[in-house]
A = this chain, B = another copy of it.
Amino acid sequence: MPDTATPDSTGLPEAASYEPTERTVPTRAKERASYDEATVHSILDAAYLCHLGFVRDGAPVVLPTLFGRIGRRLYVHGSTGSRPLRTTRASDPGLAVCLTVTHVDGLVLARSAFHHSMNYRSVVVHGIATTVTDPEERRLALDAIVDQVVPGRSKDSRPADAKELAATAVIRLDLDEVSAKIRTGGPNDDPADLSLPYWAGVVPVARGYAAPVPSDDLDPSVQVPDYLDAL
């Protein structure tokens, strides 16, 4: 999805790059790190699932969850009864989180076991997650989470009613301390290993969608929408 189509909800012009911080500069493979905003946003926008980490009772917890992006803000949602969202709400002024998105693009097979690797694109966001209370921002966030999975879907479904909204917690994480990491290319075998009799190269990996399966109870007159063909 082209990033230029997404207005920055803060109203400020988007800068070209995020500011590196101590914890977003890797100790190794620094050449794989990027703070370029368009790069970060495109990796996020190619995903809908993230892994959200937070600390509970001193121990880390990592849960898979959906997210949506609006400009320099990420949103996740959940039941008001769920443990992570209760934890967020109970925290004042917010909950320290780490939100990570990863795409695997290829298996990198080297002659040496040591140089086996993956081609991937990942984004790691550090920050303080806060509960969103503004009704309009909550509504936009929930639409963004649905549209992150299937662009265009939020306008083609029944919006949440008052009872559903009351049962849904929305939390926001500003994109501020964020970095991308990308590996591409083939294996980096040692020169002495190049003549070994082992296959070396890359097995490309990609996400695939199969044909949509309608619900058993779907009115047969409802056609598969165009936006599903675009996935």
Which residues of A are interface residues toward B (Cβ below 8 A)? 23, 26-28, 49, 51-56, 58-64, 66, 79, 81-83, 86, 96-100, 102, 104, 107, 109-114, 116, 118, 120, 122, 124, 126, 142-143, 146, 149-150, 153-154, 156-161, 164, 168, 186-187, 189, 193-219, 222-225, 228, 231
Contacts and interface: CB of A to CB of B under 8 A. Distances in A.
Nearest to A231: B203
Chain A at the B interface: mostly helix, strand, loop or mixed?
A: mixed
Contact of A96 (B59, B126, B195): B59
A195 to B, nearest CB: 7
B157 A61 contact: no
B62 A62 contact: yes
A51 to B, nearest CB: 4
Given A55-B55, A60-B96, A158 B201 contact: no
A28 B81 contact: yes
Nearest to A22: B57
Contact of A61 (B53, B149, B164): B53
Contacts of A217: 194, 200
A197 B52 CA distance: 34
Contacts of A195: 219
A54 B98 CA distance: 10
